[in-house]
Amino acid sequence: MSGPPGTVVGRSRLGPLRERVVELARSTPRALPSLRPRRRRVQLGLGPTLPGWLLRGLLLVLTGVAVTAAGAGTTLLWIGLLLGLGPVVRPRGAWPVAVVGFVAFVQLTAGDGAWRPGAFVALAASHLLVQLAALLGPFGWSVRVEPAVLLVLLRRYLPVQAATQLVALLGAVVAQGRVQVWWLAPLAALAVGALVVVLAPRLTARPRGADATPRPTV
């Protein structure tokens, strides 16, 4: 006994419809290749680069130089090196500031007085450590840095460091009683004015090629 006519007609229509759906599903990846899950490799044309792990190791070297120049003995040197591992692991955190604070502590507690010649070396090394840590902070160990980026860092570091060394030298002379205190106000105003004139164009200037859109090669 055969079923209702509507049932036979319904089944006969489902067959071609099912075949059409299967054919459409098979042809979709070929028609839309962008839907295929694949990874695209992008290559950027870069010049010579320095590995990030090497620059992070330089942070530890700068810590040792600063602590030694500040007048640390063997024990304080090892403590400073252990503390210097912090910026190596986390250059973006508070570790660079902690290292600078430790250098200042060694500088003030050493027995030869605060204004020894090594103080100027400690000042320069501490400043460079903070600048380099700020550069490496947002990136991981696998980053590679072009030397041009380090040149930009040095262009901003050297004027500030020159003014800082001048102020430190003036402080050393005043501490030894070789200059009258009433000279400090005009000299300080002159130093601050010169610092603003020199640094303002450098700090506000955009790096070369900043407006250019990079063109990666695929």
Q: SS3 breakdown of the chain: % helix, strand, coil, rounded to 5?
A: 70, 5, 30
φ/ψ of 50, rounded to 5, equals -110, 135
Tokens of 120: 């100027």
Start-to-end C-alpha separation, the chain: 68
Average pLDDT of every residue of the chain = 76
Residue 81 near residue 63, CB atoms below 8 Å: yes
Strand partners, 50: 145
Greater model confidence, 77 or 11: 77
Would you say residue 54 has pLDDT above 60? yes
Residue 72: the pLDDT is 86
Residue 188: the pLDDT is 67
The tens digit of pLDDT for each residue in 77-113 reads 999 999 999 999 999 889 999 999 999 999 888 756 5
Would you say residue 63 has pLDDT above 80? yes
- In this structure, the number of other CB atoms found within 10 A of the CB of residue 76 comes to 18
Which amino acid is located at 56 in the chain? R
Residue 55: the pLDDT is 93
Residue with tokens 């860092």: 153
Q: Which of 1-5, 39-43, 75-79 has the lowest mean pLDDT?
A: 1-5
- Region 52-74: mean pLDDT is 92
The tens digit of pLDDT for each residue in 180-215 reads 555 666 766 776 676 666 666 655 555 554 444 444
Output b/e per residue, 175-214; b: 16+ Cβ within 10 A.
eeeeeeeeeeeeeeeeeeeebeeeeeeeeeeeeeeeeeee
Most trustworthy range by pLDDT among 20-24, 47-51, 152-156? 152-156
